[in-house]
Amino acid sequence: MRLTCWTADLIGAAYNSGQLSAFDLPEVVVAGRSNVGKSTLINVLLNRTSNKVAYVSSKPGKTRSLNFYRINPGKAEAPFIITDLPGYGYAVRAPAERKNWFDLVNSYFDSKRDIQFVMHLIDFRHGPLAGDMELTEWLDAMGMPRLVIFTKGDKAPKGRVRGMYQRYMKGGLTSILPPLVTTGRNDEETERLRGIIRKIISERMRDLRVPSS
C-alpha cells in the first residue's frame, strides 16, 4: 500500500489567549489528556517519525502551548490547519495553570475560526476517563463534531482488543464515525485516518458552497 505524504510547518503557538493567531484556512483540532499521544499521532500523520514536527515527551503535561501546523496534503488539495491543544488532566499542575488551560481553550473555540471537527484522542488501554467524558459534554454543548481516535492500541493485549473496543462503545462513547484504533505507526489505520480527515473537510467545504434554498 502506498502511503500518502503530507508536508507541514509549525506556523504559530499560543500560551495565552492574547497570542492566538487567526488563519484563513479550515482547522482540525487534536485534543486529549496529557500524555495520550497527541504529538505522536501528528508526527505519524505527517510521516515525520524521525524528523519530528511535534515535540514528543514521556513527561505528562510537557506541551503547554496551543500549536498550529499548516498541512499541505498535495494532489491539488487545499491546505488546512491541524491545531494541537495542550493536554488536560495533569494532576500535578497548579490551579493557576489549569485556569490558564481553560481560558486559552475557551478563547480558541470562542474565536471566529473555521473549525471542521475535533479529533478526541483516548488511550485505548484505559478507555474514556472522567476528563474525557467532561470534554465530550463540553464539545457536545457547543455542537462541535467529534471523532474519537484511540491511541496506544499496540500496548493493549492483542486478544482483548476487540472486546475492549466493544465495551467502550456499549458504554455510551459517541463519535461522528466509528473510532479508529491507532498504534503510533505509519500503517493502514493511519492512512485511513488521513482519508477521513480529507473527506470530512471536503464535504464540509462543499456544503458551505451550496446556496441555501
DSSP annotation of 88: B
DSSP annotation of 116: E
Which pLDDT belongs to residue 102? Answer: 84
How far, in Å, are 3, 17, 45, 73, 179 from residue 119 at the CA level? 21, 21, 13, 18, 10
> Across residues 166-190, what is the average pLDDT?
93
Is 1 within the bounds of a domain? no
Q: In this predicted model, what pLDDT tens digit does every residue of 125-161 receive, in sequence order? A: 999 998 899 889 999 999 999 999 999 999 999 899 9
Is 52 within the bounds of a domain? yes
The CATH number for 68's domain is 3.40.50.300
pLDDT greater than 50 at residue 96: yes
Across-strand partners of 7?
72
Is 168 within the bounds of a domain? yes
Nearest to 189 by CA among 155, 156, 146, 149: 149
Containing structural domain, residue 29: 7-204
Contact of 43 with 56, CB cutoff 8 Å: yes
> Across residues 39-54, what is the average pLDDT?
75
Distance CA 27, CA 84 (A): 10
Count of domains forming the chain: 1
Which pLDDT belongs to residue 92? Answer: 52
Under the banding of pLDDT at 50, 70 and 90, the label for residue 56 is very low
Q: Is 71 helix (H, G, I), strand (E, B) or coil?
A: strand
